[in-house]
Chains A and B, each alone.
Chain A
């Protein structure tokens, strides 16, 4: 484990007033971060990551896991979490400590990144509402993946807010249920993380 870039920087930071550099979580703002974790795809690895978050009281807003390199048997876990900068730094360090973890990157602060979620949204109804639902789905570039005379299942991808907005709009139009993935995210640019 190398020194995290945040930690390397810290001692160059000019000294704050005496007594101010005490650790106080309440003084710091909480923010949402997307953390990408490359792990060996071995039994129990997901339980380790989830257990770490619940055991230490960190938030999980969403979590996405799948094998991404079959030959090397590696999976990518994308966790969206929130916390103060200290808590996020702790989360990274604690993840890095897990034996099957290869790499941890905070996509929110360490690089530019793209992030997508996918949702399936079932809307039932007839007449005006049905037409309106279809019209809105086009505006959101959602696709119809199942249809009956009185229902649609839409597939929509985008960032979380876009999907939130879509679901909200569907609510008065006969929203039945939705199934959402967590975020999948990658750093922008030509290099792997």
Chain B
């Protein structure tokens, strides 16, 4: 029998055995034994953040850009509660994460001890699973299980809450191979009968559309490859959700752009009018469907999802396929090829004609301005001057996020990190930190809003400390622009509390952090300023002063249907939204 080690050593050994190289964390009384072990080893690098929320988003950025599991280490009580936002974010966006929280010693649990919080109680609803480890001899098994649960099936965050006495207690270590779960066995292969039924529908479609999502990215690079092959083979149009951007190259002519509330005219109309919808790894989210009773009324729907509970949750589908995207696509491609299908050329060409007419509407056009920088123009220029396979974009939440999704273009998966499901302002800076840790050579840019950036600005200090040259590109419109836009369109232009009052001087702020500050105020100076940002070795805050009252279009107002979009020319119109629609978010 192996020699016994203490709980903290078990944690470290389990991290090593699960291939962990980086963890994001913040110390405190209840995790000191683990920090002590961290201090005495060199295999695992600890990135010290400035707020535990930052650790969770950094872990998300790390995971999404590398395909690995993100790991977080925080103390009990406030450390754990500060992590809740990032855990929820990871749950909503299906990001694999293991979050280790310290807990008060077992004999004090329930005593309202100093820095005690019911962490498993609080995080039960915002994790895929969580554990409180009361016996050191369960610790190794639980740690391995945590990684297994977080990274398999539909990925998600897992919390392991470890009382301090358990970290000190001596126990046996168990290798990961010895762990097999009794009840949790996610299914990756799709049902062949369903796959055949799907191929029938796909082969006979007259107005098909691929509707793809974050599941393609989660399934791994191979899923994107298979998707590309399948889309090419069929010649069908493809759109993607916010979370799926990059799984299909945006330069390709079959690409319709993003769909949904701020998606393109052509993507949304194709969804509305299609006869066969092929949903791959997306979940019929309300940002995508708009009014459910008007959603794509005449289509047969195929839905590939690894999570059985996503099937028929919001939209009833005709052919559900539960399985991992890459596995299912592989089978589907094989069946499709073996049938020697010839798509209906005539139908398809008239479908493409319809789509091209929608494309001609040029829904992303905006009025240029040679005195002030338009936010759309700023993203377009940023794209032109920074594009490349080693560029990674994170965002905050708001108009800038949508402009980033619309005007930055992605050719590969894992290059685009954004908070989709939860919509967490403050995601982008720490996520950029995590992305840069995973991709030390990459150019990592957070396309930010000035209000969002203020939420987790302190992580710039993390970037400076760890020499992570992230670029925070702020589209500074001096407004919580997305809130202002809704107030303009739905609340009579009463801008209640949405002006970004008392902003700091972002250039000086950068300097105060020991980073570089750059400002651009005129279109004529934008390109040079962006180039300077790219050439700067360390972290940068780029304060891009943009027009203040620009609205983000196209837009499907809440409660409206896909064919009921507002386009840029509608700017200045009073929008009519039903009371029901107003109640939606």
Contacts and interface: CB of A to CB of B under 8 A. Distances in A.
A7 B181 CA distance: 26
B92 interface: no
A23 B316 CA distance: 5
Contact of B297 (A3, A19, A55): A19
Given A18-B297, A47-B124, A3 B313 contact: no
A101 interface: yes
A4 B155 CA distance: 21
Contacts of A94: 309
Contacts of B125: 51, 55
Interface stretch (B4-12, B19-27, B318-326, B372-380): B318-326
B183 interface: yes
A141 interface: no
A14 B157 CA distance: 40
B187 A19 contact: no
A4 B314 contact: no
Contacts of A89: 312
Contacts of B297: 18-19, 22
A7 B318 contact: no
B266 interface: no
B298 A15 contact: no
A11 B320 contact: yes
Given A22-B295, A99-B183, A15 B300 contact: yes
Nearest to B294: A22
B308 A93 contact: yes
Contacts of A48: 124
Given A19-B298, A44-B120, A51-B125, A4 B318 contact: no
Contacts of B193: 8
A7 B320 contact: yes
B144 interface: no
A101 B183 contact: yes
B548 interface: no
A51 B297 CA distance: 34
A135 interface: no
Contacts of B187: 1-2
Contacts of A101: 183
B39 interface: no
A47 B121 contact: yes
Given A3-B320, A24-B293, A99-B184, A93 B311 contact: yes
Contacts of A44: 120, 124, 130, 132
Given A8-B193, A40-B182, A40-B183, A23 B311 contact: no
Interface string A71-101: 0000000000000001001100110111111
A22 B292 contact: yes
Contact of A11 (B184, B309, B319): B319
Interface in A89-133: 89-90, 93-94, 96-102
Given A11-B197, A44-B124, A51-B124, A90 B293 contact: no
A22 B293 contact: yes
Contacts of B182: 40, 102
A1 B319 CA distance: 17
A51 to B, nearest CB: 6
B490 interface: no
Contacts of A23: 292, 312, 314-316
A90 B312 contact: yes
B149 A99 contact: yes
Contacts of A7: 308, 311-312, 320, 322
A10 B297 CA distance: 18
Interface in A43-80: 43-44, 47-48, 51, 55
A89 B181 CA distance: 25
Q: Which of A24, A86, A97 has the most CB of B within 10 A?
A: A97
Q: Which of B129, B132, B300 has the most CB of A within 10 A?
A: B129
Contacts of B364: none
Q: Which of A7, A22, A94 has the most CB of B within 10 A?
A: A7
A89 B310 CA distance: 11
Interface in B223-282: none
Nearest to B317: A10
Given A3-B320, A7-B320, A102-B183, 4 more contacts: A3-B191, A22-B293, A51-B125, A97-B307
Interface of B: 120-121, 124-125, 128-130, 132, 149, 181-187, 191, 193-194, 197, 292-293, 295, 297-298, 300, 307-309, 311-322
